[in-house]
Amino acid sequence: MKSMKESMMVLLGGDPVRPKKEDMPGSVRALHASKRSDKDRIEAIRIELAHKAQAKQPEKLRRKRWVVLLSVNLLFLVSYYLDIQLLEGALTGSRFVGFHMADLNSALQVMLAFKHVVLNLTIGTITVFIMWWLLGGRTFCSWACPYHLVAEWAEMLHLKLVAKGWATDQTFDRRSRTWLWLAFLILAVVTGYTVYETISPTGILSRALIYGPGVALIWVAILLLIEIFYSRRAWCRYACPIGLTYGFVGITSPFVVTYKLEKCFHEGECRKVCLVPHVLDTVLKGRARGMQVDIGADCTRCGRCVDACPTGALTFKYKGLDKLL
**How many domains are contained in the chain?**
2
Domain that holds residue 181: 61-247
Domain edge (last residue) among 209, 228, 247: 247
Task: Please name every residue paired with 257 in a beta bridge, in sequence order, or none if there are none.
Answer: 316
Q: Please tell me the predicted confidence (pLDDT) of residue 41.
A: 66
Nearest to 73 by CA among 245, 211, 214: 211
Same domain, 212 and 78: yes
Domain edge (last residue) among 220, 247, 274: 247
Same domain, 44 and 93: no
Same domain, 113 and 169: yes
Domain edge (last residue) among 184, 219, 247: 247
Same domain, 195 and 316: no
Same domain, 222 and 74: yes
Same domain, 119 and 40: no
Return d(Cα 277, Cα 273) in angstroms, integer.
Answer: 8
Burial 2-27 (b: 16+ CB within 10 A, else e): eeeebbbebbbbeebeebeeeebeee
Edge to edge, what strands does the sheet with 99-102 contain?
87-90, 93-96, 99-102
Same domain, 51 and 65: no
Same domain, 113 and 7: no
- φ/ψ of 227, rounded to 5, equals -75, -30
Using an 8 Å Cβ cutoff, are 149 and 72 in contact? no
DSSP 8-73: HHHHTTPPPPPPPGGGS-HHHHHHHHHHHH-HHHHHHHHHHHHHHHHSPPP-HHHHHHHHHHHHHH
Strand duo 87-90 + 93-96: pairing: antiparallel
Same domain, 85 and 127: yes
Q: Please tell me the predicted confidence (pLDDT) of residue 319.
A: 87
Same domain, 104 and 213: yes
Same domain, 41 and 74: no
Please report, in tens digits, the pLDDT of each residue of the chain (325 residues total): 667 889 999 999 999 888 887 777 888 777 777 776 666 666 666 666 666 655 666 788 999 999 999 999 999 999 998 888 788 888 988 888 778 889 999 999 999 999 888 888 899 999 999 999 999 999 999 999 999 999 999 999 999 999 999 999 999 999 999 999 999 999 999 999 999 999 999 999 999 999 999 999 999 999 999 999 999 999 999 999 999 999 999 999 999 999 999 888 888 889 999 999 999 999 988 888 889 999 999 999 999 999 999 888 999 999 877 665 4
Q: Please tell me the predicted confidence (pLDDT) of residue 55.
A: 60
Same domain, 140 and 217: yes
Q: How many residues does the chain have?
A: 325
Residue 161 burial class via C-beta count within 10 angstroms: exposed 0-12, middle 13-18, buried 19 and up: middle
Q: Please tell me the predicted confidence (pLDDT) of residue 39.
A: 65
Q: Please tell me the predicted confidence (pLDDT) of residue 152.
A: 96
Using an 8 Å Cβ cutoff, are 110 and 230 in contact? no
pTM over 0.85: yes
Q: How many CB atoms lie within 10 A of CB 264?
A: 22
Q: Please tell me the predicted confidence (pLDDT) of residue 299.
A: 96
Return d(Cα 325, Cα 317) in angstroms, integer.
Answer: 13
